[in-house]
Amino acid sequence: MSHTQLDVDLIHRTLAGRTVGCRVVHHDTLASTMDEARALAERGEPDGTVVVVEEQTAGRGRFARAWVSPRSQNLSFSAVLRPTAPQLPYVNMAATLAVARCVAETTRRAATIKWPNDVHIGGRKISGILIETAMAGAQVDYAIVGIGVNVNFDPSAYPEIASTATSLYRETGQKKDRSEILGHVLTEFDNLYCAVRSGKSLTDEWAAMLETLGRTVQVRWKERVLEGRAEAVDDQGNLVLMGADGTSTTVTAGEVTLQI
């Protein structure tokens, strides 16, 4: 199987019987897998439906930043999930841990998480995760988890990200089968998501991989810029920031731009 085209049959076989990946919808080109997954969620598609694409024309990361990903070289996919409101904070942790586990196993290098949901190797970004949630009152209607993983492209060819990004290819010197990588990530994601659905907290495991803790960081939060030491995360994954004056502030992931 060529590395340039996803093997959808292989992905279906890999994920048979699982929640995440119970249905995999493959497209050649989309503006955004997030938008397509949202449309499917609105139509009632089941928990665990995944949308994957060869090329996104308007892929985005957190805060509407563009996501650079050449056609059929990386992975761009989104999952429709239907957690309860108390489970929602752990969905981000499940997605991030799933990618980090796959990346570490594939590269044989330590993967770390930049709070709240970027995966790094050696300080360079290899994956970004975006979560958008639709609420019905206090209940979660659905959550869309968008994941981009740099697989077979060389970031050094793109000056705007050459110094800050990496890929599985850059780390190993080998092209990878994207279908196998996608199956690996979604298998890990399903294991972790099912643990969350059964009531498990992932905070300790997730926090242990955070590269952010112990560092002095700047946080843009609610129109303010806070600077302090990243002391800890609470059980919901919010960052506890200790200012120079000794005051502690807890900031939530969805409202923050982090600069180290």
By mean pLDDT, which of 59-63, 224-228, 239-243 is the weakest? 59-63
Residue 54: name the closest of 152, 128, 121 by CA: 152
Would you state the pLDDT for residue 44?
A: 97
What value does the mean pLDDT take over residues 163-185?
A: 97
Would you state the pLDDT for residue 158?
A: 87
pLDDT at 221 over 90: no
Q: 129-153, pLDDT tens digit by residue?
A: 999 999 989 899 999 999 999 999 9
> Is the entire prediction scored with pTM above 0.85?
yes
Q: 41-70, pLDDT tens digit by residue?
A: 999 999 999 999 999 887 655 444 555 667
Ordered structural domains, the chain, with CATH: 8-207 (3.30.930.10), 212-259 (2.30.30.100)
Q: What HEC string does 123-154 produce? A: CEEEEEEEEEEEEECCEEEEEEEEEEECCCCC
Instruction: Supply 50's token pair.
Output: 């995944």
Would you state the pLDDT for residue 65?
A: 53
What value does the mean pLDDT take over residues 213-220?
A: 89
